[in-house]
Amino acid sequence: MTQDDRNKTQNEQAPQDTHSEKKTIDADSADLDIHAEDDADFQMPEGFPGMDENMFGQVQEMMARLERVGELEQENADLKGKLGRLASDFESYRRRTQGEVGDAESVGVAKAAEQLMPVYDDLERAVTMGSGAPASLIPGVQAVQATVLRVFGGLGLEATGREGEHFDPRWHEAIQVVPGDQDDVIVQVYQLGFRMGDRLVRPARVVVSRKG
């Protein structure tokens, strides 16, 4: 290829490169126009001079958080109100329950006293009859004892710790041990015991035998 041919070829390619550069410049200009349009769409609120879009976004985020704090404070206030009402209701329930328990105890005491009134009547008769003859007091006192045991039985109490019973530490308290024919047998009663089912009300105080 001659020098003239090479020059001709370069001249033919030159307009194409110029056209490509023009396209690139046009694309850059379009991007600038798009960003310019975006910037034009963003309107800075009044009262915020000199604040750019990034700073305004941070302010909006902070305001959203403050709004959330306000919501949480309101929820906390609502919960405190509910807790206060619950505490008030519980206090009312406690007072009402205490009143009911007190009424039940009063009724129980009245019923127990009613059951014991015949015992008082028997004692009064025994004292009246025995004032002239002291020996006659013994049958009267024994009758009173029987009446008391009947009253206790009606209340659910069971006597324990009589002579001849096997010693049981759950219900009996041995205050003395004496020689005897058998082990752990009650041979003397100082104080009768009482139980209510499986619950000990008062232990019997007894003397227990022991072989050898």
Is there a domain that residue 201 lies in?
yes
In this structure, of 11-25, 65-79, 101-115, 182-196, the range with the lowest mean pLDDT score is 11-25
The predicted model scores a pTM of 0.47
Return the SS3 of 132.
coil
Is there a domain that residue 9 lies in?
yes
Nearest-CA neighbor of 189 among 152, 164, 158? 164
In this structure, of 4-8, 66-70, 124-128, 202-206, the range with the lowest mean pLDDT score is 4-8
Average of per-residue pLDDT values in the chain: 76
| pLDDT mean over 118-125 | 79
Is there a domain that residue 206 lies in?
yes
Is there a domain that residue 70 lies in?
no
Q: How confident is the model at residue 136 (pLDDT cuts 50, 70, 90)?
A: confident
Is there a domain that residue 111 lies in?
no
Other Cβ atoms within 10 Å of 28 Cβ, number: 10
Is there a domain that residue 181 lies in?
yes
- Contact 154/115 with Cβ under 8 angstroms? yes
Q: How many domains does the chain have?
A: 2
Is the pLDDT at 148 greater than 50, yes or no?
yes
Q: Quickly list DSSP for 30-98.
A: HHHHHHHHHHHH--PPTT-TT--HHHHHHHHHHHHHHHHHHHHHHHHHHHHHHHHHHHHHHHHHHHHHH
Residue 62 or residue 12, greater confidence:
62
Q: Residue 6: which domain range?
A: 1-41
Is there a domain that residue 193 lies in?
yes
- Contact 44/51 with Cβ under 8 angstroms? yes
Q: Which two tokens stand for residue 139?
A: 């049958």
Angle of CA points 91, 95, 100, to nearest 5°: 145
pLDDT of residue 169: 94
Burial class (CB in 10 A: 0-12, 13-18, 19+), 13: exposed
Is there a domain that residue 163 lies in?
yes
CATH code, domain with 211:
2.30.22.10
